[in-house]
Every structure is written in structure tokens, then in C-alpha cells.
Amino acid sequence: MSDTMVDQTHKPEETAVPNNLQQHHKQDEEQSVRENADCEDEELHKLLVPDITLLPLTPPSSVESNFASYFAPDFMKSGNDQYVYRHANGLCVVGLASTHSAFKDNGGVSAVDFNVGKSDRSGMKVTGKRKKNAQHFESNTALCKVCTNNDSYIVRCCVKGSLLEVNERLIKQPELLKSSADREGYIAIIIPKPADWLKAKASLLSLEDFKKLRALC
């Protein structure tokens, strides 16, 4: 793929008839302007089209590309496997790992309730660049309750920090949790202080280690 922008000017053809020379020139000029524009478009297009042979069959997902994945197996309770995706800017997305007990139930997730602990987590409003009104939570603070047909599970923060937002869509669409727990089914976004993150990280597993632990492929 060439990266050069080449402006090709087509020279107007010399005609043998002097009377029509000017007119021809003008037409040629207009034509060359059009051709110029076409040329530029062509050049641009060349830059845009990728070389298919260099592309992977399945590219990394946006989560894989932008976040570092960590896992907390059996967090405070056996079977409570949660993930923490940490972005380079320090924000942490918290959710249920695919090995969570809630997914072992038949029938899937019936409800997600954010009204746990002392307040309804879905009710808080964080505003501004400084993230005013964000509640400070400990790693074991409850975020929400996930209900299946047979059981209910408490989801925890796993990381000490300020709660920026919860995934309200889960209230109306709890099935999102089962269908894509690692994307649209995320639970909440938390921002820890740098020191708190280092502490939390120490007790989390990398993707590799987690896979080994759970004997995943």
C-alpha cells in the first residue's frame, strides 16, 4: 500500500487549429481539474483499502485491545468468579466471569437488583470531570444482587475505589448478563486510587493463571 499522495496533472493536448485553441484549452483545463479530483480520490482510496493478507482471521476484541484482564476467583464465596478489566487510564470495569455459579443454573438470570447494602447503586448520579458524588466503596462492598431461578448471588466490587456508574441496562435486560457477561453484561465501572489498585492487583489473577485454575482451554 503506497503512502504517497501524487498529484497528476494531465497536460492539455496541443491542437493544430489556432481558432479553437483557447476553447480547447479551457475544456482541457476543466477536464484536467476533474481528472485531478478523480486522481486524488483514487489515491485516497488506495490508502484506505487494506491488504487482506495481513489481516488476522479473528482480530482482538476491543476489550482485549484496550483493557488488561484480571480475575478474582471465589471472591468471598465459592463460585463467585468475577473479572476486573483495567483500562490504561485507571478505570476498572467489573463483572461476572463466565465461570460464575450464576451461569451454571438452568434458566439463566432472572433479575439484577442494584438496591443492596445501604443504597440503590443505580440511583446515584456522578457529575463533572472531578466525578463528584461518587461513592467510595471497599472491595467487599456489595454492588448488586443477581437472581436466577433457584438462587441469588451478591456481586462485589473486588477493587476499592469510587463507583462511577452501574450498568442500568441489566435492570431491564438481565439476560444480557448471561449472553455477554464480558461485554454488554458488565456490572459497574469503578475508579480506584493508584495505591488501592496496587493492593487489589496483588490478589487478582491474570487471564493465563485464571484459565489454568479453572482448567479452561
Partner 1 sequence: MSNEVESVQVSDVTEVNQLSSSTAVESHAGSCDDEMPLQLLNEAVRSMPNHVVKALLSIGVCSRCVLRIFGTEDRIYCHPLLSQSMLRSILEEVAGFKSEGNFQICSICLGILQFCYCDDKETMVKMESPNDMALIIAQLVKKEGHQIDGFSLEVSVPQLILENESSLLSGMKMRYESEPWFQERLLSKCVSVKDVLKFAITKPLETLLDVKSSTAGCFRIRLTYTHKRASDNSVERNQGFKRRKIGKENGLHNVNDEPVITNKVCSDYSTDETICVTGRSSNLLQDQEPSEQLTVPIDKVSEPCQLVYLCYRTHIYLCGRYLKFSRNVSQTRWIIDEERMGEASVEEIIGSNILPMCQGDNYKFHAAGREDIDVRMLGSGRPFLLEIQNARQVPSEETVNEIESKINGLENKLVGVKNLKVVGSQGWTLMREGEAEKQKQYCALVWISRPLEDEDVQSISLVNDMKILQKTPIRVLHRRSPLEREKIIHWMKIERIAGSSQYFLLHLCTQAGTYIKEFVHGDLGRTQPSIGSILGCRAEILRLDVTDVKMDSF
Site string for partner 1, 126-145 (x = CB under 8 A): xxxx-x--------------
B/e letters for 108-137, b = 16+ CB within 10 Å, e = fewer, are ebeebbbebeeeebbeeebeeeeeeebeeb
Q: Which of 57, 217 has the CB closer to partner 1?
A: 57
| Rounded CA separation 112/130 (Å) | 29
Q: Is residue 62 at the binding interface for partner 1, with CB under 8 A as the rule?
A: yes
By CB under 8 A, tell whether 153 contacts partner 1.
no
Binding mask 171-190 for partner 1 (x = CB under 8 A): -----x------xx-x--x-
- The yes or no reply on residue 89 touching partner 1 (CB under 8 A) is yes
CA neighbor of 213 nearest in space, from 123, 81, 104, 93: 81
* Sign (positive or negative) of CA dihedral 171, 71, 64, 137: positive
Cα–Cα distance measured from residue 96 to residue 135, given in angstroms and rounded to the nearest whole number: 21
> What is the smallest separation between the CB atom of 41 and partner 1, expressed in angstroms?
9
CA distances from 174 to 100, 113, 197 (A): 15, 9, 29
Q: Are strands 119-120 and 92-96 parallel, antiparallel or unpaired?
A: unpaired
For partner 1, the closer of residues 207 and 213 by Cβ is 207
Instruction: Build a one-symbol-per-residue string for 40-59: x at contacts with partner 1 by CB under 8 A, - elsewhere.
Output: ----x--xxxx-x--x--xx
Interface contacts to partner 1, rule CB under 8 A: 3-5, 44, 47-50, 52, 55, 58-63, 66, 87, 89-91, 93, 126-129, 131, 164-165, 167, 169, 176, 183-184, 186, 189, 191
